């Protein structure tokens, strides 16, 4: 029996893309295999590890638990969108400065959740606990990641306190 297919249009990092795909295609597979955004990693495929996290209309979602057809018409943000010109985002730089990664497998998902947390004005403590708690890292012991979060949130605090016009880019 032939699998049912449907056309799906998504804006990925600001670029509108359309592909016909099977209705059972997961968003993670759609992004990776059909659109070429391989920065979204797939670990457990069961919604546990958080590696596959992307933003859909600004909300962090496990792309391994989401069907591509469910996000038809939505704006999707992936890790590739954080450094479109190759220059690291401030959070990426903080991860680098504080040794917040080793193999890097978990990193894209963590960065996307932290981006949403930054935008939502989540406190540093909640970013280090609730937000990071949704992600499994098998390498770092989390200390470097927490140090990177504290570094970035200190920057945000500084920006908030600075006179208008001194903000640093996300
Ligand atoms: S691959 Fe999606 S949560 Fe682990
Ligand atoms: S850095 Fe290897 S899983 Fe997190």
| CATH number where 54 lies | 3.10.20.30
Chunked into runs of 10 residues, the chain (170 residues) has average pLDDT values of: 94 98 98 98 98 98 98 98 93 98 98 98 98 97 98 96 68
Q: Which of 81, 99, 114 corresponds to the end of one domain?
A: 81
Does residue 132 sit in the same domain as residue 94?
yes
DSSP string, the chain: -PPPEEEEEEEETTEEEEEEEETT-BHHHIIIIIS--TTS--SSSSSSS-TTEEEETTEEEEGGGSBGGGGTT-EEE-GGGG-TTSPPPHHHHHHHHTT--SS-SSHHHHHHHHHHHHHHT--HHHIIIIIGGG---SSSTTHHHHHHHHHHHHHHHHHHHSPTT-PPP-
Going from the Cα of 103 to the center of ligand 1, the distance in angstroms, rounded, reads 16
Residue 142 belongs to domain spanning? 83-161
Say if ligand 1 is within 6 A of residue 134 CB.
no
- Ligand at shortest distance from the CA of 66: 1
Does residue 102 sit in the same domain as residue 75?
no
Report pLDDT for 165. 58
Does residue 75 sit in the same domain as residue 94?
no
- Domain for residue 99, yes or no? yes
């Amino acid at each position: 029996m032939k699998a049912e297919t449907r056309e799906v249009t998504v804006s990925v990092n600001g670029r509108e893309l359309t592909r016909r795909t099977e209705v059972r295609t997961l968003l993670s597979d759609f992004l990776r295999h059909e659109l070429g955004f391989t920065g979204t990693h797939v670990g457990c495929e069961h919604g546990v590890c958080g590696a596959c996290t992307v933003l859909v209309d600004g909300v962090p979602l496990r792309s391994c638990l989401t069907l591509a057809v469910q996000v038809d018409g939505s704006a999707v943000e992936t890790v590739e969108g954080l450094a479109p010109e190759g220059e690291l985002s401030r959070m990426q730089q903080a991860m680098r400065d504080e040794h917040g990664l080793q193999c890097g497998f978990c990193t894209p998902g963590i960065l996307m959740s932290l981006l949403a947390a930054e935008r939502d004005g989540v406190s540093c403590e909640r970013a280090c606990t609730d937000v990071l708690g949704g992600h499994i890292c098998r390498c770092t012991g989390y200390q470097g990641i927490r140090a990177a979060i504290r570094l970035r949130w200190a920057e945000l605090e500084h920006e908030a306190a600075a006179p208008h016009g001194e903000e640093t880019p996300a």
